[in-house]
Amino acid sequence: MVLMNVSNSLPVLCIVIPCYNEEAVLPITSGLFLGELADLVEEKLVSDESRILFVDDGSNDATWKLIRSLAESNVHYTGISLSRNRGHQNALLAGLMEAREFCDISISIDCDGQDDVRAMKDMVIAYHDGCDVVYGVRSSRKADSLFKRTSAEGFYKLLNKMGVEAVFNHADYRLLSKRVLEEFSHFEEVNLFLRGMVPLVGFRSSSVYYERHERIAGESHYPLKKMVALALNGITSLSTKPIRIITMLGFFISILSLIGVIWAFVVLLMGKSVAGWASMVSLVCFMGGIQMLSLGIIGEYVGKIYMETKHRPRYIISERTSTKF
């Protein structure tokens, strides 16, 4: 009789962590991730072959040096380094695709320590209950400033209004099963917005709620400017609703213009026409503004089509801490 190793029946977990200039926080949070992984292994929720995968997104500080040092100190740490900075979404995708080769489940989380690592246990339990996707969702934003809370909630509401299927108050803290990763690997677009793309894959999903904390150390890499850019990228990458809004706006303005022409013709026939400089200037400025805005939105879509047709690689891995996981 052949005895089966119990650890082999447990899923291999890969915790994927994108890093960009995180030398201040990495020495602190790496221990938190390892401690949580050890707890999951001890409770026999995941295999001891599970790993923590750091993805260095072209940092210009000592981040990659720290990742290599961690990998040398403990077998559960591993890492890859991208050839240049490609942005958070591309770095996260690189880690997920790397993890796909050896793991049964992945959990993506930021390096800053704001996301509660203890939520991983509930995610893995949901996976054992049959879920292929488990979203980490913030239970509240009490710790945020009024401006941050308002802008963040407005960000998710705008995405939903524009037709992007995104989970409210969910960023990139989530569990994905191997079969989701396999299906996700067929998504080949260059313009990435993962929190809007993952729901498109489907499969059974659930949510785990947690409290988000202040950043442990270092500085945030997502100021308002990047949040706006992320929202714009998400909308234009996953929805054509802005184009439809332009069409409807154009139709509405055309109706108003037709009414205006009829009114002007009637006034002319009645002999009551008076030169209206102010109204003419206002009309020209309004129409000019609408046209420039419309061209800008259309330009965003044309630019994305241009980038997609090039089929450039979304990331390039320049170095690994080990050749085999």
pLDDT per residue over 143-180, tens digit each?
A: 666 666 676 666 667 667 766 677 777 788 999 999 99
- The model's pTM is 0.72
Compute CA distances 169 → 58, 125, 173, 196, 241, whole Å. 28, 21, 11, 12, 22
Phi, psi of 89, deg, nearest 5: -65, -40
Chain segment 69-117, per-residue pLDDT in tens: 999 989 999 999 999 888 888 899 999 999 988 899 999 999 888 888 8
Residue type, 269: L
**Per-residue pLDDT, 170:** 78
CB 162 within 8 A of CB 239: yes
pLDDT given for residue 54 in this prediction: 95
Please tell me the distance from the alpha carbon of residue 149 to that of residue 132, in angstroms, as a whole number: 30
Distance CA 107, CA 117 (A): 10
* pLDDT of amino acid 114: 84
Position 139: which residue type? S
Q: Residue 44 region, left (φ>0) first, then alpha (ψ -120 to 50), else beta?
A: left
CATH class held by domain 10-239+312-320: alpha beta
Let me know: does 238 contact 164? Beta carbons within 8 Å: yes
Which stretches of the chain are assigned E, i.e. beta strand? 13-19, 51-56, 77-82, 105-108, 133-138, 170-177, 205-210, 317-320
Give the β-pairing of 170-177 and 133-138: antiparallel
State the pLDDT at residue 132. Answer: 94
For the chain, the first-to-last Cα distance in angstroms comes to: 30
Q: What is the pLDDT of residue 124?
A: 94
In a structure prediction context, what are the per-residue pLDDT tens digits for the chain, which is 325 residues long? Answer: 233 333 458 999 999 999 999 888 899 999 999 999 999 999 999 999 999 999 999 898 899 999 999 999 899 999 999 998 888 888 999 999 999 888 999 999 998 888 888 999 999 999 999 999 999 888 776 666 666 667 666 666 766 776 667 777 778 899 999 999 999 888 888 777 787 788 888 889 898 888 877 665 556 555 556 666 666 666 666 666 676 777 677 667 666 666 666 666 666 666 665 566 556 655 666 666 677 677 777 777 777 676 667 677 777 888 888 755 5
Cβ(175)–Cβ(206) below 8 Å: no
What CA–CA distance (Å, rounded) separates 311 from 199?
A: 24
Domain definitions of the chain by residue range = 10-239+312-320
